Amino acid sequence: MKIVVVGGGSWGTAFAALLRDRDHDVTLACRDPEQVRAIEATGHNPRYLTRADLRGVKPVTVENAPIAEAELIVLAVPSRAFADVAAALPGGEAPVLILTKGLDPGTGSRLSTRVQDRPVAVLSGPNMAEEIAQGLPTATVIASEDRKLAERLQEAINSIVFRVYVNDDLVGVEICAAAKNVIALAAGGVDGLGLGDNAKASLITRGLAEMARLGEACGGEPETFSGLAGMGDLNVTCYSGFGRNRRAGELIAQGATADEAAAQIGQVVEGLTTAPALRDLSHRVGVELPITEGVCRVLSGESLDKLLASLMGRQPTDE
C-alpha cells in the first residue's frame, strides 16, 4: 500500500518503520523541514527514536505529503493539533488510521469524530514506541465501525512481532486510549511519593473501573476494557519506564509543575491535555471519576498529599 504517516514524533517514527518492514510504500510527513533533511541525509530521526532505522521511508514536510495518492493516511499527531490536521486533509476516499490517544481538547469529542468524509479506524494497545522500534513483540487492536476496513488494515499491518486484533467497539477503544494516560499520571504520582506497589496496583485497578464506567456511559462495550486497549495499554502506560505520562506524574509528585515536567520529558504528555477534557466529558454523561477529578485538582495546584487523603477517606462501598 501507499501509506502516508503524518507526524514525525516517536510513535509516527516507529510506526513508519514497522510499515516499511511490511513492504509498504511509506512516506513520513514531518512539520519541520530540518527534521526532513536530517532523515534524508542519515536515515534516522534526529529528535525521536534516534536509533530507529528509517532507510526506505521517504521523509517530506507535511505541506508536501502525497495525500492525494495515498491508499492509507495514518495520523500520529498530538491531540491538541489533531482537529486542525484532520480538517486540512483534502477530499478523497483513502481511509484514516488514528494513532493519537486522547480527546479533542476544544470540544471534548472523540478524535475519530473529527475526521470528515473518510473511512476511519483507530489503533490502540500496549504499544510503547521505543520497544516497537527495537523489534520487540507486542499486540494491538484496530477498531472501526467498518469491519471490512479493520480486517483489511489487520492484514496489511499484522506481523510476527506486531500482532493485530480487530474490534468493532470504536467508542470503547477511543475512551480507553484517552483515559489510560490520565490514570498513568496518577500512577506516576504514587511512584513519586514512594507509596509502594500495593497502592499503585489499587489505583490502577480503580482507574480501570473508572475507564469502564465512562466508556459504557458513552456507548462502549464492557469487554473492551479488559482487552488490549483497556487493561493492556493501562498496565504498560502505568509501569513502563518509557511512559511519559507516568514519568510526568512522578515529577509532579516530586515538586515540579506540569509545565516543568513536560519540559523535562521533552515530548508531548497527552494526559496533561486530556485530563480536563475527560473530566468535562464525565460531567456531561453523569459518571463519577474520582481519580480523574483528583488529577485535575493536582494540575490546578492542589497537593498530592491532600488528594490522597480525600481519595482514601471516601465512603467505603461495594467494589
C-alpha closest to that of 311 among 297, 196, 301? 297
How much is the CA Rg of the chain, to the nearest whole Å? 19
Contact assessment for residue 6 and residue 16, using Cβ atoms and an 8 Å cutoff: no
- Secondary structure element (H or E) that encloses residue 247, with its range: helix 244-253
Please give the Cα distance from 142 to 147 (Å, whole number). Answer: 10
Locate cell 471490512: which residue?
A: 148
- Residues serving a catalytic function are 180
- Between strands 120-124 and 138-143, the pairing is antiparallel
- Between strands 72-75 and 2-6, the pairing is parallel
Please give the Cα distance from 165 to 186 (Å, whole number). Answer: 29
DSSP string, 164-187: EEEES-HHHHHHHHHHHHHHHHHH
Locate cell 487493561: which residue?
A: 231
Could you tell me how many residues make up the chain? 319
Q: Would you give the DSSP letter of residue 118?
A: S
Task: Classify the C-alpha dihedral 238-77-136-170 as positive or negative.
Answer: positive
C-alpha closest to that of 99 among 117, 118, 72, 70? 72
* C-alpha distances in Å from residue 112, one per residue of 48, 103, 120, 143, 288: 26, 9, 7, 11, 24
- Looking at residue 10, its amino acid is S
